[in-house]
Structure 1
Amino acid sequence: MTTPTLFTPTRLGAIEVKNRIAMAPLTRSRAGMDGVQTPLAATYYAQRASAGLLIAEATNISRQGRGYAYTPGIYTDAHVAAWRPVTDAVHAAGGKIVLQLWHVGRMSHVGLQEGGAAPVAPSAIPAGGSVFTEQGFEPPSMPRALRTDEIPALIEDYRQAALRAQAAGFDGVEVHAANGYLLEQFLRDSTNQRTDAYGGSIENRARLTLEVVAAVAGVWGADRVGVRLSPLSTAIGDTPLDSTPMQTHGYLVAKLSAMGVAYLHVMEGQMHGGNGADAFDIRALRAAFAGAYIANNGYERQTALDATAQGRADLVAFGRAFIGNPDLVARLRHNRPLFDAPQSSYFGGGADGYTDFTQPQAA
């Protein structure tokens, strides 16, 4: 019998993967408030190393970039030291793992910022929704607009995070430019009202993402850098769409392709509620990019088999399914039922619902 494409090897730039299944970055809020991962993280990721690519949970590039309690960082030596056992464990289990570099921008709270400072954003426009603090869920605080002269230091924070990710033993990095966080806040004209070189035209609004990717690629080489995008997502921060999402993302993707970026990781449609993917020409976006394409959002076994077999995606990312099914690849390959992990175990806590489950795992 022919092996379905989903279970065959491929490569994303310089990263060779053993199958077309990616583990999406999943915030689990189990690091310390100092952003240092616990030893449980090594077990958690190694359990899931049968995936072709593990995309580690969104990781703060700086204290300023943090928007949720108990999320990990990659801006101190202690962070590097805590991540190193994770990458070692994944590699020992035969897996590949990249780190998602994260700055939340306006999706933060003064209680999470050093000295109670205001979060930063392209423009002083408050976000909706809520962020998770030590006191529980709270509305995001009013942000202040980044000054133009602060942007070089922000880009340097990304570069330093990329260097530290390299020191921690990752196989590459993914620049998070999606889901209503800082880089997407710059990209969308709904959240960017600047009049300097980082606002106004599509070219100006895409500038920061491209400069960040160039800085990170200067550390890793573009062929070990991925970028995550979400052209239609409004869920986080109640972030309004860009007025011309196809043109804006088409421009950005063409530039990323010319840079030789390893892969795009795209949230197709809305994150919550109706998918809405039909409102955007994902295939045209895919066609404009020369590298690998990771599809994400609501995929199940059959749709993932179809997408990879038909060449619509090089990999398919699964998120929630990996929480309760560390052996997801085997379950998908053999068409076994999946365990639906309780949402109460998603965020915070210890081993229960993270590395330990009461239901049996498939061999």
Structure 2
Amino acid sequence: MKSIVLDRFGGPDVLALRDGPALVPAAGQALVRVAAAGVNFADTLMRRDAYVVTPPLPIVLGSEAAGVVTAVGDGVDAGWVGRRVAAPLFASGVHFGGYAEALVIDARFLVALPDAIDDATAVALQAQGLSARHLVIQADPRGKSVLVTAAAGGVGSLLIQLARLAGAATVVAAASSAAKLDLARSLGADAVVDYSKPGWDDAVLAATGGTGPDVVYDSVGGDVTKRCLEILAPCGRALLYGALNPAEFTLSGTDLVRMVFKNQWLGGFALVPLLDPEAVRTGLAALFDAVARGDLTVLAGGTFPFSRAGEAHAALESRRTVGKVVLVPDAG
């Protein structure tokens, strides 16, 4: 079995495709032949040892995949064998093992894939789709003005659409290039702003009638987060998520006083603590249905064979991609 092994920290070139022993599912597990594996920004941070925790080496990165069940361990329904499934390793608390031709997963977290959902789409709707769905649940946008940063990314592009489906009055999308802004507008954003240019926060205020956004979903961090909080509407809610670097952001006493007297709320968002097998099944089923109905568009950010995993990481780190970056086994 081939897998992409990380045995030292460094740049994208440290990812190596190697042969390894075949996997055997233990009791309660399923063995899945991987058809597509998702690449997340957190994977690039782990590769550089810049994540919140240092992964043990050697290790196979990747926390989400889609494929076909080929075997099951004791106590697992044999009816899973031969079925196409989503394999959200992260939901079971396992954040490694996805960049491989096969993986084992707690069978309670398997989700059957409808025929209308291809493998790449199934991968995109796991960590990123479930994050977008639960962000909307955590900070309800119904009837409110919403600001989505990193709006052309995997989560951001879905947030634009899910906020609109949930009844947001105004959706403002913020990104860092004209092409990404055009994309955000095509997904349903009412207004777009380029946060790489001075005065972008004033543009958000203008787009929200001068009051600022009622809800902010932010994954950029640094000065962008600080500006988001400064323009947040009275009684507004800001949710921070993703692989933010806390060292790049400070909240002063003045900021806190302003938030207190404006009745504003600042919260963090982490997906995994919100998930159990039922939440995963329900959430993915809702997302799959939305795609099948044509209500939700999943953006493809590029597909790379396992042998070019380093290129996939480099593309994601360069911020050139939009949507979901996916790895697939090499042909033959």
Give the TM-score normalised by the residue count of structure 2. 0.29
More strand by share: 2
Give the TM-score normalised by the residue count of structure 1. 0.27
Radius of gyration: which is bigger?
A: 2
